[in-house]
A and B are shown apart, each in its own frame.
Chain A
Amino acid sequence: MDKETIDSLLDPLSVQRAEALGLQARYVVEGYMAGEHKSPYRGFAIEFAQHREYAPGDDTRHIDWKVQARTDRYFIKQYEQETNYVSNILLDGSESMQYGSGRLTKFQYGKALAACLSYLILHQRDAAAVGIFDQTMRDYAPRSNNRATIHTLMQRLAAFQPTGQTNIAGVLHDIARVVRRKGIIMVISDLFDDEEKVLEGIQHLRFAGHEVVLFHTLDPDEFEFPFKGLVEFEGMENIPKILTRPQEIRKSYLREFDAFRTRLREGCEKNHVHYVTVNTAQPLHEMLSGYLAFRLKTTTR
């Protein structure tokens, strides 16, 4: 694996800022490694959390006798079990992700995002799995908490060339069926698919107990539609060409587009899914640290 791929995918500034913020699971996750490792993490990561007054029915094993001796009251010691989580990072590799008005295409941006996230997760000794899909899962790197896996991940990310059409909903349903352990599913896509079906897929994942984060990756051109003069739009995914004067339909386009995003966001909110709008014009580190800070603030412990 050449150094360049790592450099281009792992933005040092993004990684540096993201490391400080960390990526915490918002909901209970099922760590699969409990008791499997030795030092320095012996067994469960068991940490004292708080005292609670004893109530009948509590296991007497957890009564803090020292407190009882001092205060003559029964208190129960509560512990918090720390576990690691498995994060599935799903990157849309359909042809529409190839669009890019600026330096980066949506796919390149998505790859960088996926790389940073997986590095971050692996760095926290959580497990990450990375999948690239279009109509089906094209390339899937199974979960791993080995930091060295990052190289393999990036190699796979770098090697992928988007070609096909997209079917996000199908892929999400598949994932929901395949991934048993509750974890975090991160979807990086422009979501140019039937949003109803996409939302159904997300719902499926949520029902399976996963936390879902949706990185809706879009190009600034798609937000602003700045074209002028006579333009022929050539569809990327087998849609016939359209010749039109874009400035005359700009408002209408933006209305449609905003409605689409609104429907997605509302659907996500309904399912308690983080919907993150990613503008590829925004530097990755800004976007990522912004989201992570938000996430840190809203995560319940």
Chain B
Amino acid sequence: MGFLNPLLLAGAAAVAVPIIVHLLNRRKFQRVVWGAMRFIKASVDQNQRRMKIEDLILLALRCLILILLALALSRPAMKSSTTDIFGQTKVTGVLLLDNSFSMGVSDGVETRFDKARKAAEQAIDALPAGSATAVLLASDIAQGLIPEPTYDLNLARKAIREAKLSDRASDLAPAIQKAIENLKGRSALRKEIYLVTDGQATGWRQLGDIQKSLEQTKTEIKSHILLVGSKEDRNLGVSGLSVAGGLTPVNRPIRFEVQVTNFGKEEAKNVRVTLAVGSEPSGDEIIVPLLRPGETVGVSLFGKLRTEGFHPVTARIPDDRLLADNKRTVVCRAIREARVLLVDGEPGTEPRDSETFILGHALVPVPALDRESYFIKTTTVTAIELAATRLDDFDAIVLANVADFSETTVKSLEQYLKRGGGLMVFPGAKVNAGFYNDILFARHAMLPAALGAPEGNAEQEEKYATLQTRNYEHPVTALWNNPGAGTLASARFFRTFKLEPAPENQKQVVADAGPARVVLRYASGAPAVMERAWGLGRVFLFSSTADTAWNDLPVRPAFLALVQRVLGSLVQRQDESLNVPVGQEFTRQVSSDLVGRDAQVSGPSQSAATRELRRVELINGVPTLRFAATDSGGAYEATVNDPPAVIRFAAQPDSRESDLTELAVEDKEKLKTSANVYDWSPGVSLRELVEKERVGTEFWLPIALLVLALAAIETWLAQWFSRAK
């Protein structure tokens, strides 16, 4: 026997009320000066005893009513009771419906999600009358369709019927945690969690934590896990799509890298991979002859972006039973040209002596005649001319062996980065390391690392450092993971600056500075190239010269690719935000004339009628468009009518979700110790399974009825006793 609202038992103190009222009433009376006292006295003598007994009976009844009322409000309950005399105790439940995209696996007739909805409705049907339930969608987050338990079970059914599958991944831990937290504080005798999911192993990757939570609350909250859907051994998915070069010029063939993974347990042969740009019906395609189970194959496909602006690019493989991962879309912004400002710190007397000579050719690797039509345009200035140059005219600036520059230039450089410009820094013999370290690194945190002491000797050729040969982690250098793409290892570095990365807490000093990342390392492990995001821009810092003074990288074939990829990374910096993981908020800076306008945003599967409106707002003084409802994978389009503007962006589903491997049998057994696990199929009657678990009775109802009866008796007795006698 326990009490669900034990605090309300204190209400029994109200038993004092009728006694106090009785005592107070005895002091409150009418006074009558009366002549015919002997008759009153005679009557009172006859009735006194009876009246006293009647008073006592009424007082006792009133006290009893109050005590019972307090008892009923405190909701006494007997958990071990097996009787259902007073009806089944109401359940307060939370229903979790998995809507991650693996629930979209179809058996040819209906998807796992369709089955899950049926199972969820059955679970609600099986609740005793008067129960309440919340409905949450569980993917990698828990979305509340009905966040708090409602007694309107029809509303819950409606919410389930109208629930939509998302392209999110599944991680059931947060959803289960949320359900437990929701129920924990509630005073209900029976609390139940229903989780309807497929048995996908990735959803249970935090199984240990989930089990711990369930185990801790086992006595209080009963959990029922309904596994729907049958085993699926075959699934191919497009697990990656990216622009290989980083630069996306108009009307030039752009290489896209597509990763196709066999998530199934059987070999797949002759998988046709296609690439489509925008709404073009067909594009480049390639056949992957063999994909072994678990294998990921990267293929390169080419596409052209015909016009300037945003283009969705989609890679597809033939449809299988899980549709969501058979295509993947990225959005690229096609640019007409990329303008690069080369700041030469050591122009030399002859053009070929200049610090930026090789760099300039690496950026524009075409004959002199074709330079005009090439999409990268370079302008070379000296360090002195830098102060007079309008930085905003350029997409990227290269500082090559520039000693130092004025404070004004530092300021304009800062503004330039903040607005999204790119900066490439090559040190050299003329560099004023103090200026770089104190001003650019320490004060403004523009550089990802400080320049340490120079190492090595450029005058000899015996001792040199080389670059790493494998395990390239940065997207700029990831290309060289593929041995067919050439090598960086042949370059020799005779003299280098030691790059000393920013301390962990530097970001706090300058809000705009992003974390410093190593792009490329020496074979020794020391960083050779580092970068950091700064404002909306990005800064790359090399550790050696841009010409052959200190190293021979500029004359190696890989230099061209490296420089172009770095430039691509700088130019693309603003467009990184165009591609977000499913579920992450899309945020983009837009032109200031759009402030206050409404953008119509349509998703991948949405018709024009269901477009959502988002207003362009000023956030920290920056006109920004935000859109958080990126639950579906694919291309989104935001349109502003006046002034006309179109922004496209894309959401990519988590490829881990494509892995349909089932929860291991031993894990399932482990889970069964802390929850009831059922393999649900349309024929299973959930009610029978669940009702066996529901024992325990609340007694508030019979007590409340007793109170009502006593109140009626009290009223009648009070009338009867006070009738004229």
Contact = CB atoms under 8 A, between A and B. Distances in A.
Interface of A: 95-99, 106, 190, 192, 219, 222, 227, 229-237, 239, 242-253, 256-257, 260
Nearest to A259: B39
Contacts of A222: 35-36
B33 A192 contact: no
Interface in B47-99: 47-48, 51
Contacts, number: 103
B692 interface: no
Contact of A234 (B26, B31, B723): B31
B405 to A, nearest CB: 101
12 contacts: A227-B30, A230-B26, A231-B32, A232-B30, A233-B32, A235-B34, A245-B722, A248-B723, A249-B43, A250-B724, A252-B43, A260-B39
A127 to B, nearest CB: 32
Given A248-B51, A251-B725, A192 B41 contact: no
B38 interface: yes
A233 B721 contact: no
B41 A242 contact: yes
Given A239-B41, A248-B722, A234 B35 contact: no
Contacts of A235: 34, 37
A192 B725 contact: no
A96 B36 contact: yes
Which of A99, A229, A249, A260 has most chain B Cβ within 10 Å? A249
Contact of B34 (A230, A233, A248): A233
A247 B43 CA distance: 11
Contacts of A190: 35-36
B20 to A, nearest CB: 16
B34 A253 contact: no
Interface in B693-725: 721-725
A191 to B, nearest CB: 10
Given A239-B41, A260-B39, A229 B29 contact: yes
B721 A248 contact: yes
Q: Which 8 A-B pairs have the closest CB atoms?
A: A96-B35, A252-B43, A230-B29, A249-B43, A235-B37, A256-B39, A239-B37, A233-B34
B724 A99 contact: no
A244 B40 contact: yes
A92 B30 CA distance: 28
Contact of B29 (A231, A248, A249): A231
Contact of B39 (A99, A237, A253): A253
Contact of A233 (B25, B40, B46, B722): B40
A232 B724 contact: no
Nearest to A260: B39
Contacts of B109: none
Given A234-B34, A239-B41, 20 more contacts: A98-B33, A99-B33, A99-B34, A106-B35, A222-B35, A222-B36, A229-B29, A230-B26, A230-B28, A230-B29, A231-B32, A232-B31, A233-B37, A237-B37, A239-B38, A242-B40, A249-B40, A249-B43, A250-B725, A251-B724
B287 interface: no
B40 A245 contact: no
Contacts of A257: 36, 39
B38 A252 contact: no
B42 interface: yes
B44 interface: yes
Contacts of B30: 227, 229-232
A91 B721 CA distance: 41
B35 A256 contact: no
Contacts of A252: 42-43, 46-47, 725
A231 B30 CA distance: 5
B25 A192 contact: no
Given A230-B29, A231-B30, A232-B29, A248 B724 contact: yes
A249 B36 contact: no
